[in-house]
Structure 1
Amino acid sequence: MADDRMTSQDSGVYKTLLESTKAIPWRIDWKTMCFTYIGPQIEKLLGWSVESWQTVNEWAERMHPEDQQSVVDFCVAQSKAGVDHEADYRALTKDGHYVWIRDVVHVVRDQQGEVEALIGFMFDITERKETEQKLLDLQKELEELSFKDGLTGVPNRRMLDKVFEEEWMTARRHQQPLSLLVMDIDFFKQYNDCYGHIQGDDCLKQVAQALSSAATRSRDFFARFGGEEFVMLLPETDASAAIKIAERCQQLMMKLQISHQDSEVSQLLTISIGLGTIVPSPKDEIVDFVEQVDQALYRAKECGRNRVKTA
């Protein structure tokens, strides 16, 4: 009798402990797939009454549509295999919002080793998920900043190297032309000496914004190469099309109408452009191709600047 009384008391203590924690305990009978118990804390968290949790259908239906299929399939597979597991998902509240839940599940077996029940705890991890998302957003922002030129806001040399490698491999694999424009502002040192570095920085920003507008397709890539040099990478673009884009870049410079009284070629700011097109083969190297286009830019300067020369 004393043992029975002690067992009853223990059961009451355990129930009180379970129902006083923030974790929400529950139990599902495996054969019927019905809840045999769920903690009253569930109503405070999600708004659904304890009585409304009858079968696993309620559990599945009160899950975000994007999470439902994968989480249900995972939990069923793990449970059938008798493996304890955890699952994160968004649970629907009675007022139509979603709360992030982590279900920690333990599989109970009978004496024959068959699955008898599932018992577990639901934890509200909304705050943790929000913090994780903020960290992910911050990481993405920092990554974007690391690939962005601090002055002009266009992609930097680091991003160029990454994109160039990807486009080079794509062009080689599909045997498609890849064109490169290397652009240099004419007599920019003299511009800085004449107008000052603050105005020089503003000039670089204007030039970057104008020239980047010539990259009209989604894969056209414009970046600051360094100093007063900019580049444009043009996938699936042959030489004749690339020349038209180079000419478009010079027209955009003219539209800016930036005065440059110390230039030796014009009273307005101009650019020289080196251009190259290649269908990469396995023996070709990016560094050699860039060197060829650089040489074309050098020839454009040698021939009087404010012009386009092809490699």
Structure 2
Amino acid sequence: MSRTTVAKPKSRASPHRSGGTLSLGADLLLAALALLALGVLALTGQTLSIVVQLGLAGLGALSVLGLGLRAMLAQRSAVTVARDSVHSDLLTETQQANQRLEDAINALPEGFAYYDRDDKLVVCNQRYRELYPEMAMQLLTGVSFEQTLRFGVGRAQFPEAEGRADAWIAERLERHRRADGTPFVVKLPGSRWVRINERRTAEGALTSFHTFVTDLMRREQELVAVNARLAESEARIQSIFESAVVAVVVFDERGRILSANASTERLFGFPVPAIIGQSVLMFTDAPGGVRNELELAEFMADRLPAMLGQSRDVKLRHRDGHILTVNLGVTEARAGEQRQFVAMMRDISQQVAQQQALRDANDRLEHLSSTDALTGLANRRKFEAQLQAEWMRGARQRTPLALLVADVDHFKRYNDHYGHVAGDACLQQVAKVLGRFARRSGDLAARYGGEEFALLLPALDAAAAMRVAEACVQEVLAAQIPHAAAPDLAVVSLSIGVVSLLPNAEHTPSHLIEQADKALYRAKAEGRSRAMLHSVG
């Protein structure tokens, strides 16, 4: 019987397998290795050994393995699809969250920038870019703060850095490094201002908020200018206050001194610090005296209102006790709701003393011009002026006016016998007697001329005038002035003419003198040393 020879294949083969089986197994093994190399199948070394063994085992087993591999590939594909779906969802949510964060940052009314711990920009909003338009091209993620700052300085975006760029940059970087949350202001071109608040996070990153404050800064600059002008004005006022030649004292509504200038110390002798808080009445006290609160309250409530807005001369006391004459003016000034008062005092003591001396001098001159130098009685000029005044007064008031005209009897003989010096002494003694009868304010004793005297007595009728005249005659006799040359008496005597009239428009004062003279002549004619009344009729 004949045999079929099967040609051996050219390839090497195991003696236990057929050529077709070996070829299929080799193909499967190569496919598995290829898949493993591509990362499709995550097979271990043990699995690979199994695959090899299965390839050597036979066709049936390899078929089972092929089915298993197809199932594994299908499952892997499903997992990949699910994973890609989840990744897509997460990516969408992340994009949405990022968009929401970006919208929130851009919605901020302030400029906002966030730098990482290396001071490189992470994010900034649109407002931040608008605040620095010339630097917007530099505001990119990953660009450092210092780069951006120098870029802005190089383009004159920070006027304060002009002429001192390096120093200004160093100061700004130091403040940026410190970033303690203390706000500060930076000037931008066009007189714009930005307030910056920077703060570091716990991880070292930095948040930076930038607010446009130009209007606020302008108002603040205006306020600074107003305050500067106010300070200048206050300085001028204080200078005037301190250099004023008048004493200025400011006190409150309780009467307590708030301030005083140097002239106050010069005027009253009290150091300014020593009078602060004291009662304003301290300048009226006697040395060591103290005004009580009740008296001070009464002064503030009752007397002070009447003094406001008026100037008056008052007597105040120096620290050493001597009295000052002070011209005082008080005005009210309000400091907010608080009432304050300003007292201005000018020392007029010397002026008053000079005025008094002038008045005294004028009085002396008046006295000299109206007084008889020898007797001290009124002279004829004074007599005639007062006669005129009293005549007019009597006419107005319908009251009588009496006049006594007296003459020293035999006075020429007295002078010839005793001499003029003794004669003058005689006249002085007679004048002294007559002067005592001018007791009332309107009465006047005068030397009318030579040895003649006059006594003017307003509102005195004839009877009363005669009583005065007779008293004068007796008083001169009682003086016992020796007169050895007298033909009848050995002493000096008087003859007096008396008249009392009601002044009227029909007569003048000289009429009164004429009538008194007539009465005097009658007294002399009837023997002297007597008083005679002129009869009106």
Q: Which residue is 2:481 aligned to?
A: 258
Does the 8 Å contact 2:256/2:280 carry over to 1?
no
* Alpha-carbon distance between aligned partners in 2 of 1:170 and 1:181, rounded to the nearest angstrom: 18
The 1:162–1:54 alpha-carbon spacing in structure 2 relative to 1, beyond 3 Å, is farther
Higher relative contact order (CA 8 A, sep 6+): 1
2:405 and 2:517 in contact (8 A); partners too: yes
Structure 2 counterpart of 1:43: 265
Q: 2:401 aligns with which of 178, 192, 208?
A: 178
Matched, 1:304 2:536: no
SS of 1:180's partner is strand
Contact 2:246 2:264 in 1 (8 A): no
Which residue is 2:507 aligned to?
284
Alpha-carbon distance in structure 1 between the residues aligned to 2:524 and 2:240: 82
Task: State the match for 2:210 in structure 1.
Answer: none
* Residue segments in structure 2 that go unaligned for 5+ positions in a row: 1-220, 286-298
TM-score (structure 1 length as normaliser): 0.75
Q: Which residue of 1 aligns with 2:463?
A: 240
Letter in 2 for 1:39: N
Deviations 1:127-175 (Å, cap 9, x if unpaired)? 2222222222222222222221100111222222233233323333333
Which string of whole-angstrom CA distances, capped at 9 and with x for unpartnered residues, describes residues 154-207 of structure 1? 122222223323332333333333221100111212211121111110110011
2:316 match: 91
Question: Contact 1:220–1:232 (CA<8 Å) still a contact in 2?
Answer: yes
- The answer (yes or no) to whether the contact 2:243–2:262 under 8 Å persists in 1 is no
- Structure 2 CA distance for aligned equivalents of residues 143 and 284 of structure 1: 29
* 1:208-265 superposed Cα distances (whole Å, 9 cap, x missing partner): 1122223444543211111100111222322222222221111112112222233333
Change (3 A) 1:53 1:283: farther
1:26-175 equivalent positions in 2, closer than 5 A = 37-48=259-270, 50=272, 52=275, 58=280, 62=283, 76-77=308-309, 87-94=312-319, 96-102=321-327, 122-175=345-398
CA drift at 1:10: 9.7
Q: Which residue of 2 aligns with 1:205?
A: 428
> How does 1:4-15 map onto structure 2 within 5 Å?
none
Question: Letter of the aligned partner of 1:76 in structure 2?
Answer: L
Once residues 452 and 424 of structure 2 are traced to their aligned partners in structure 1, the CA distance between those partners, rounded to angstroms, is 13
The letter for the 1-side match of 2:355 is E
Aligned length, in residue pairs? 293
Q: Find out whether 1:221 has 2:221 as its counterpart.
A: no
CA distance in 1, matches of 2:329, 2:439: 51
In structure 2, relative to structure 1, the CA distance for the partners of 1:227 and 1:20 (3 Å cut) is same
Structure 1 residue matching 2:363: 3-state secondary structure: helix
Matched letter for residue 260 of structure 2:
I
Per the alignment, residue 267 of structure 1 pairs with: 490
Pair 1:16–1:250, CA change in 2 (3 A): same
Counterpart code for 1:283: E
Which region of structure 1 is more displaced relative to structure 2, 185-194 or 40-49?
40-49
Distance in 2 between residues matched to 1:100 and 1:217, nearest whole Å: 34
Equivalent in the alignment of 1:82: none
Measured in 1, the distance between the counterparts of 2:396 and 2:531 equals 29
Letter in 2 for 1:264: P
Instruction: Work out the percentage of aligned pairs sharing the same amino acid.
Output: 34
Aligned to 1:112: none
CA contact (8 A) 1:265 1:304 kept: no
Q: Which moved more, 1:209-218 or 1:283-292?
A: 209-218
Q: Secondary structure at the match of 2:375?
A: coil
SS of 2:324's equivalent in the other structure is strand
8 Å Cα contact 2:242-2:263 kept in structure 1: yes
133-142 or 287-296, which deviates more? 133-142
Letter aligned with residue 471 of structure 2: R
Measured in 2, the distance between the counterparts of 1:247 and 1:121 equals 62
Q: Which runs of 5+ in 1 are unaligned?
A: 79-85, 110-115
Return 225-234 or 205-214, whichever deviates more: 205-214
Find the aligned partners of 1:219 and 1:193 in 2 and give their Cα distance: 37
TM value normalised by structure 2:
0.46
1 or 2, which has the higher strand percentage?
A: 1
Classify 1:224/1:25 alpha carbon distance in 2 versus 1 (closer, same or farther; 3 Å).
same
- Deviation, 1:39, is 0.9
288, 293, 300: which one aligns with 2:516? 293
Indicate if the aligned counterparts of 1:265 and 1:305 stay in contact, CA closer than 8 A.
no
> Partners in 2 of 1:266 and 1:130 — Cα distance?
54
Distance in structure 1 (CA, Å) of the matches to 2:439 and 2:258: 62
Deviations 1:53-108 (A, max 9, x none): 569x826x7459xxx99x95675246xxxxxxx65433333455432334578999
Separation of aligned partners in 2, 1:20 and 1:53: 19
Deviation at 1:287, TM superposition (A): 0.8
Could you tell me whether the CA contact under 8 Å between 2:308 and 2:332 is conserved in 1? no
Greater helix proportion? 2
